[in-house]
A and B are shown apart, each in its own frame.
Chain A
Amino acid sequence: MRRVRAEILSTRRVGVYHSLTLVAPEIAERARPGQFVGIAMPAGRSFLLRRFYFIHQASRRGGWAGTLEFAFEPDGVGAEWLGSARAHQFLDVMGPLGRPFAFPRRLTNCLLVAEGHGTAALTFLAQELRARGKRVDMIVGGATEEAVFKPIEVKRVSQTVAILTGDGSLGTKGRPVEALPEMAEHVGAEVVYAAGPRELLRAVAEFCREHRIPAQVAVEERMACGIGLCFACTVPVVRKDGSGYDNLRACVEGPVFNPARVLWDRWMADIPRMLPTPPGGSPVVGSWPG
């Protein structure tokens, strides 16, 4: 884990995504698939928190040695600012953060399922799996053709590919998870990896539990520090011995988790239960101290 001032080597539009390549050898040398970087926002502005991005590419050898690439949709204020960054500008970058995906030792057939920017994280994984002699097949998707991240590269790194888009503008109409049962059977999936929206990860968890396929997923949770200091980013995960669960920090104990152990309903409880009115008054404040 390092913190560096990294120069932007290049910026590119890739469909709906912006892709930034940084010169950051200290981070690139250590980066593993599933890990991420934390980018500081400009000083003196009203948006304070770092933004976190999965590492899409980390070159340790060759002409691009020491560079690092990540991709994002510029939808909020932080990503928009990052999208306006130009080559030769410097960014304050921390990384590589988090625990990476584990590679299977004996099993060989790996099925990777990604949606949206999750594809950026999993193409890096695909390359590393291939380099270890594994078979890689991928299911990728997004809302539209433009939201399918680098489909050509995806085809290059995997044996077979299924592409699904919400509007059917590329590949089959639908969401990546819909192709999972057929694809898993077709390629004889022995291990499943996933990255993308929580609904996808949860569906992958259910499928893999039912079919007894080992799986790993990379989650996203709101973060403040990204380095384990603040307990902002927790995910409820069942203990190994099954005796209850712990709220684990996605930034240091994740972002890669065994989906069979994540308490999805608890984590995704979208509608908080209304808190009882405390005795003596109205304020809900303080019902959850600190």
Chain B
Amino acid sequence: MAGVKRTLAVDLGGIALSTPLVAASGTFGTGREGGLLDTRRLGAAVSRSITLAPRKGAPSPRVAETASGLLWSVGLQNPGIDAFLADELPRLTRTGIPLFVSIAGSSLEEYVRLASVLQDVQGIAGIEVYLRGEGEAQEGEPFLSSAEHVVGVVGAVSRLSRLPVVAKLPVSLADLVESARGCVRAGAHGLTIDGSAPGMAIDTARLRPEVGAISGFLSGPAVRPFTVRAVFEVARILPEVPILAAGGVWTGNDAVELLLAGAWAVEMGTALLVDPSAATAAADGILGYLKHKGLASPADIRGRVRIPEPGTGEEAG
């Protein structure tokens, strides 16, 4: 395909990104660190998750290394929405990279209040809604443990927000596909499918949990197959909805795998923590793949995994 004008740009239903690589929430700092993080090939970034009031976060240690994984439990340490808007947001947006603000709450009311505060804030590309439950029980059920709660929160935030709302759905959610569909019906612009799953590790010498919060969430290459499967399942049902895939992306090939499964863009977290120029390397990898396949842009690989027709053993499409 000589003469193909190749690009990494993607369009998430009206949100234009220069590359499909997005810095994941909780791994992009506060905008003050500067220096080593190579942002040249990041199409967007997501802030750490912000709550209404400041939170001190989880006890230390907050991370443990496991086989090809990182077990983390930061406990949403953040300065609260007011201090975030005053001190952190201006620095984060100064990079020029489209920024999503991640919000987290322990009740429907907290989410609603966060969304209203963000209503009039300029300069952000969208809101990513963190949906891992802690907090108040409702009718005996932990908050955000069911599709109903998740959809309720996402619907309320979407109704209040003039910005595009992206629901970050953990793959460990009981009914992921149902929740995804419900979120979109309730007004979500897009979905982040997050492969990092609840986990625990024990120091056998000291007979203690490895992280201070006892359990945490696993990220890194170890979880990528969870992400691939969940993205695949959701994208089949909702092919028109922008999907960001988070969980286990390290290289360009990892990103391509998730695009093939149906993602429109991918988030990178653990990889950026270890290799601050991982996004640049991944961008080169995706470009190399496009070139090799004679394709023009990431949209050309989206959802293009070939599934054998049942019975025939032959490839479809």
Chain A interface residues (CB < 8 Å from chain B) = 1-3, 40, 46-50, 92, 94, 221-225, 227-235, 246-247, 252, 266-267, 269-272, 275, 278-281, 283-290
Docked CA distance A266–B57 (Å): 13
Assembly CA distance A230 to B142 (angstroms): 27
Q: Which residues of chain B come closer than 8 Å to A289, judged between CB atoms?
A: 75-76, 104, 106, 130, 132-135
9 contacts between A and B (CB under 8 A): A48-B221, A94-B276, A222-B63, A232-B62, A234-B60, A234-B77, A272-B213, A279-B142, A288-B213
- Given the interface contacts A286-B142, A290-B217, does A48 sit within 8 Å of B32 by beta carbon? no
In the complex, the answer to whether B70 meets A48 with C-beta atoms within 8 Å is yes
| B59 contacts the other chain (CB 8 A) | yes
B36 lies within 8 A of A3 (CB):
yes
| Residue B164 interfacial (CB < 8 Å) | no
Complex A-B, nearest 6 residue pairs according to Cβ-Cβ distance, in ascending order: A288-B213, A285-B198, A228-B33, A279-B137, A225-B273, A229-B29
**CB nearest to A281 among chain B residues:** B142
Judge whether A252 and B62 touch: CB under 8 Å.
no
CB closest residue in chain B, given A49: B65
User: Does residue B58 face the partner (Cβ distance < 8 Å to A)?
Assistant: yes
Give the complex CA separation of A229 and B130 in angstroms: 18
CA distance A195 to B43 in the complex (A): 42
B270 CB–A CB distance under 8 Å: yes
* B35 is an interface residue with CB less than 8 A from chain A: yes
Most buried by A among B72, B208, B275, B277: B275
Residues of B within 8 A of A266 (CB): 59
Q: Is the CB of A287 within 8 A of B137?
A: no
Known A1-B35, A286-B133, A290-B49: A229·B73 in contact at CB below 8 Å: no
Chain B positions within 8 Å of A230 at CB level = 26-27, 29, 63, 72, 74, 273
New contact pairs (5) apart from A225-B274, A272-B213, A285-B200, CB-CB < 8 Å: A49-B63, A49-B65, A228-B33, A266-B59, A270-B208
Q: Given A40-B275, A231-B77, A272-B213, answer yes or no on A288-B58 (Cβ-Cβ < 8 Å).
A: yes
Q: How far is the CA of A168 from the CA of B101 in the complex (A)?
A: 57
**Residues of A with C-beta under 8 A to B48:** 231
Q: Which residues of the other chain, B, contact A233 by a CB distance below 8 angstroms?
A: 60, 62
Please, how many angstroms separate the alpha-carbon atoms of A207 and B68 in the complex?
42
Residue of B nearest to A267 (CB): B60
Of A232, A271, A272, the most chain B CB neighbours within 10 A belong to A232
Confirm or deny: B28 has a beta carbon within 8 angstroms of a beta carbon on chain A. yes
Which residues of B have CB within 8 Å of A48?
65, 68-70, 220-221, 270, 274
Interface residues of B (CB under 8 A from A): 26-30, 32-33, 35-37, 48-49, 56-65, 67-70, 72-77, 104, 106, 130, 132-135, 137, 140-142, 145, 198, 200, 208-209, 212-217, 220-221, 270, 272-277
How far apart are A270's CB and chain B's nearest CB, in angstroms? 7
B274 touches A286 (CB 8 A): no
Among A223, A233, A272, max chain B CB count under 10 A is at: A272
* A272 lies within 8 A of B209 (CB): yes
**A231 and B33 in contact, given A267-B60, A280-B137 (Cβ under 8 angstroms):** no
Whether A229 lies near B273 (C-beta < 8 A) is: yes
Query: Are B132 and A224 in contact (CB-based, < 8 A)?
Result: no
8 Å CB contact of A252 from B33, B137, B145: B33
Q: Which residues of A contact B72 (CB under 8 A)?
A: 224, 230, 232, 290
Residues of A within 8 A of B134 (CB): 286-289
Contact at B142–A94, with CB atoms within 8 Å?
no
CA distance A49 to B106 in the complex (A): 31
> Given the interface contacts A232-B62, A234-B57, does A225 sit within 8 Å of B27 by beta carbon?
yes
Looking at the assembled complex, report how far the CB atom of B105 sits from the nearest CB atom of chain A, in whole angstroms: 10
Give the distance in Å from the alpha carbon of A92 to the alpha carbon of B281 in the complex.
15
> Judging by beta carbons under 8 Å apart, are B36 and A94 in contact?
yes
Are the CB atoms of A284 and B272 closer together than 8 Å? no
Q: By the criterion CB–CB under 8 Å, are B274 and A40 in contact? A: yes
Chain B residues within 8 Å of A246, by CB: 56
Chain A residues positioned under 8 Å from B272 (CB to CB) = 225, 229
Nearest-CB residue, chain A, relative to B139: A280
Contact A49 B274 (CB under 8 A): yes
